[in-house]
Amino acid sequence: MKKLTIKMKITIWFTVFMIILSTVVFVFIALISNSTVSQETRGMLISLVEDNTREVEYDDGEVDIDDDFVSFSNGVYCLVFDSTGKKFSGYAPYTELESQTFENANIRSVSIGKETYLIYDQLITSKKHADLWVRGVVLESGNAITSSAVYRAVLIMLPILIILAAVGGYMFAGRSLHPIKKISKTAEDIGSSGDLSKRIDIDNNGDELYQLAQTFNRMFARLEKNFEAERSFTSDASHELRTPVATILAQCEYAFENASGEQELYEAIGAIQKQGYRISHLIESLLQFTRMEQQTEVISFETVELSKLVSYVCKEYEEIGEKGITLTKFIQPDIIYKVDRTLFSRMLENLIRNAFRYGKDNGTITVSLKESDNAVILSVADDGIGIAPDELSKIWNRFYRADKSRSFAKGTGLGLGLAMVKQIAELHGGKVQAESIPDLGSVFTVELPAEK
């Protein structure tokens, strides 16, 4: 069976339904009205006969039919007979109807040709004279709706209406479904060109297709962002790797061509080794970072005593005392929270290490943890060299280092530290913030929402 468009399907179903519905309704109405009419007819038959019965009596041995006797009303013919069959008044459409045997108070039907008549007789008894019969005759199918002109007109109109409805329905279905064409076209464009910046553009009329298009647009935006992040990440990463490699190669060339003597060769090899470590360190950090981002690294949240965890991490760094810097803690005790231990520790460590790295000699680092009604706040403050206002928004980017040309005691930083802090905070449903005044110091805050 050939594939049908939704438009066709809708129209066909709709038309079929309409046909069935109208047929059923039509038949139902016909039946009901038939029976109603039938009831009415019988009612009229009986009532006319009964009414007329009062108008017939014997007067001085003569049959007296009052002027109020109605011979024909509402399709009911009324006749008066005596028990011998002699007719005194009235007429019926067919003689057969007049010659039917009498039955008292019983409606019976008589078919004449295609028509059906109802006959109702009422007996008037008389002591002195022959009994009289009042007979009512009415055409049963005469009042039926099925033969009325209205009925026939409707019968003709209905198919026409159905056809019109079908055509109209087809067109309207088409209009409503038109946006689907746009949606599939846009999706196809994106698929073939790989240009994720395209969006589906349809008028806002609030209906389901508009919602669908918006949902798709949001998905495309997210994909675009992810791909862009991925692209810039790999480009940043390769940039970061190229420089140490360039240094290694340059050192090798120097060693081959210009080094005079063992000492210089030794120095060159040392420099190459340093770069080797750097690359290795970079690769490890990148993998770690990627795994965390893609969440292939398993994150396991447990309810921990956060105060103790923070104290523990601080303790490790307190004892290092690099650059003569002191680390003080203001940790509110007994704070319990659900975190991934490893990631949370890493986050805190990164913040503390940064504070050391950018701190001044003999300075102070303050780590504080507190809990308020709606948040748990961790902050690391230092009195180091600070961050310039125009760089403050960039520090959370990957590979961003405020002052790249410094070399630090433990090898150059990679610029991933804060990006990781932000990522970890966000994985816990929180957010990060940094405030700083150049040369005075900085405060890094991680705010985690209170558990419900």
Partner 1 sequence: MRILIAEDDIDLNEIIVKKLRAEEYAVDSCFNGQDALDYLEAVQYDAAVLDIMMPKLDGLEVVQKLRTKGNLTPIIFLTARDTINDKVKGLDTGANDYLVKPFSFDELAARLRAMTRVATGNPTNIYTLADLTLDAESHIVKRADKEITLTAREYTLLEYLMRNKNKVLSRQKIEDHVWNYDYEGGTNVVDVYITYLRKKIDEGHDIKFIHTVRGIGYCMKVEE
Q: Give the residues lining the site for partner 1 (CB under 8 A).
A: 238-240, 242-251, 253-254, 257-258, 271, 274-275, 402-405, 407, 412
Residues 6 or more apart from 212 whose CB is under 8 A from it? 183
Pairing status of strand 364-371 against strand 431-437: unpaired
CB hemisphere CA count around 204 (13 angstroms) = 1
Q: Between β-strands 326-331 and 132-139, what pairing exists: parallel, antiparallel or unpaired?
A: unpaired
Exposure string for 308-336, b = 16+ CB within 10 A, e = fewer: ebbbebbeebbeeeeeebebeeebeeebe
Q: How far is the CB of 355 from partner 1 (least distance, A)?
A: 21
What's the rounded Cα separation, in Å, for the pair 398 and 240?
11
Return phi, psi of residue 363, to 5°. -85, -170
**Chain center to CA of 163:** 34
What burial letters (b/e) apply to 382-396, b meaning 16+ CB within 10 Å?
A: bbbbbbeeeebeebb
H/E stretch holding 346 reads helix 341-357
- Alpha-carbon distance of 341 to 208, in angstroms, equals 44
Which amino acid, 244? P
Q: Tell me how far, at minimum, the Cβ of 197 lies from partner 1, in Å.
A: 17
Which of 115/253 has CB closer to partner 1?
253
Q: Helix and strand tally (H, E) in the chain?
A: 8, 15
Give the shortest CB-195-to-partner 1 separation in angstroms.
16
The token pair at 238 is: 């390769």
Residue whose CB is less far from partner 1, 5 or 407? 407
Nearer to partner 1, 337 or 399 (CB): 399
The CA-atom distances, in angstroms, between 262 and each of 66, 149, 252, 255, 275 are 153, 122, 14, 10, 20
- CB nearer to partner 1: pick between 105 and 249: 249
Nearer of residues 17 and 277 to partner 1, judged by Cβ: 277
CB 188 → partner 1: shortest distance, Å?
27
CA atoms within 13 A on the CB side of 176: 13
Alpha-carbon torsion angle 184, 189, 195, 197, nearest 10: -40
User: What is the smallest separation between the CB atom of 317 and partner 1, expressed in angstroms?
Assistant: 26
Residue (237 or 335) nearer to partner 1, CB: 237
Q: How far is the CB of 423 from partner 1 (least distance, A)?
A: 23
DSSP string covering 146-184: GGSHHHHHHHHHHHHHHHHHHHHHHHHHHHHHHHHHHHH
What is the C-alpha separation between 48 and 72, in angstroms, rounded? 9
Residue 63: φ, ψ to 5°: -75, 120
Nearer to partner 1, 226 or 407 (CB): 407
For the CB of residue 171, give the shortest distance to partner 1 in the complex, in Å.
Answer: 50
Indicate the residue among 170 and 233 with the shorter CB distance to partner 1: 233
Q: How far is the CB of 226 from partner 1 (least distance, A)?
A: 21
Closer CB to partner 1, 122 or 442, in the complex: 442
Query: Least distance from C-beta 262 to partner 1, angstroms?
Result: 17
Please give the Cα distance from 23 to 20 (Å, whole number): 5
Instruction: Decide whether 57 or 236 has the Cβ nearer to partner 1.
Output: 236
Smallest gap from Cβ 259 to partner 1, in A, equals 9
Q: Nearer Cβ to partner 1, position 96 or 253?
A: 253
Q: How far is the CB of 288 from partner 1 (least distance, A)?
A: 22
